[in-house]
Amino acid sequence: MFRTENALILREVRFKESDRILTALTADAGKMTLAAHGALSKHSRIAAATQQLTYAELTLFEKNGRYTVREGVTKEGFPGLRQDLGKLALGSYFAECLEQYAGEDQPEPELMQLGLNSLYALSEGLGSCEKIKAAFELRLMTLEGYAPAEESCPVCGRGDIREPVFLPEEGQTVCRACRKAGRSLPLTENALAAMRHILHAPAKKLLAFRLTEEEQSLLSAVAESWLLHCSDRNFPTLAYYRNLKL
């Protein structure tokens, strides 16, 4: 039986002489495993469409619950990622996060939109890597039900949190004066406003905030530590990205 899916290729693994096994994200069916026979051979018609970090319309053949890619048309290849090792590494980290959080056999339209928009922003340079990364991480956690608490200080109840600090073990934002022992990460009022924007803005406006470089690095530390805390695992692609930046 044939069906068509628009798929973002999250991961490709070489298999046998010239096959690829793909992990792909689709809007309609979530995460899927696909076989792309001959994709690595010289004259393959599906070579480009089955590359990691490519968005493509794939024609799939299903037999006994296994899917094979029969045809593929690239819809977006994110060329900016292939010309910059740092962007490619960060895009791979986004893909690893999406693979971690996408469900199977269930629609994932919001994850798909976040993934595509973030890769596009990265490819086109619509913001710094650190800005796009922080927005991706915080929005992903929000979509997955792990939105950090940011409305008011849970200790004193103030809505205008004074000299805000983020508690990455609790996912709470408190006033500097209200924090207790334990790890805390400083924010500024601007950085907190940007965090609130990322949590609540329409998808297309996700990057419509401005921070100084210093404030951005505060927000980046909060976003990354919150994602790592919620995920309770390491991401090899993140370590690789960090190594490149050093």
60 or 174: whose CB is closer to Zn ion?
A: 174
Q: By the 8 A CB rule, do 13 and 20 touch?
A: yes
Segment near Zn ion (CB under 5 A); pick from 21-29, 31-39, 99-107, 171-179: 171-179
Taking contact as CB under 5 A, which single stretch among the options 47-55, 78-86, 94-102, 156-164 is the one that binds Zn ion?
156-164
Stretch that binds Zn ion, among 106-114, 152-160, 189-197, 229-237 (CB under 5 A): 152-160
Work out the angle at residue 207's Cα, subtended by the Cα atoms of residues 77 and 57, and round it to the nearest 5 degrees: 25
Long-range CB pairs of 62-68, under 8 A, 24+ apart, other chains included: 62/1, 62/2, 62/3, 63/1, 66/35, 67/32, 67/33, 67/34, 67/35, 68/34, 68/35, 68/36, 68/37
Beta bridge partners of 122: none
155 binds Zn ion (CB under 5 A): yes
How far from chain centre, in Å, is Cα 201?
A: 17
From residue 213, alpha-carbon distances to 50, 130, 191, 218 in Å are 37, 9, 11, 9
Smallest gap from Cβ 31 to Zn ion, in A, equals 41
Q: Give the footprint of Zn ion on residues 13-42 (CB under 5 A).
A: none
Please, which of residues 173-202 interact with Zn ion by CB under 5 A?
Answer: 175, 178
Q: Which C-beta is closer to Zn ion: that of 7 or that of 187?
A: 187
Task: Report the nearest approach of Zn ion to the CB of residue 93 (Å).
Answer: 34
Minimum distance of Zn ion from residue 225's CB (angstroms): 20
Instruction: Indicate whether 153 belongs to the interface with Zn ion (CB under 5 A).
Output: yes
Per CB under 5 A, residues contacting Zn ion are: 153, 155-156, 175, 178
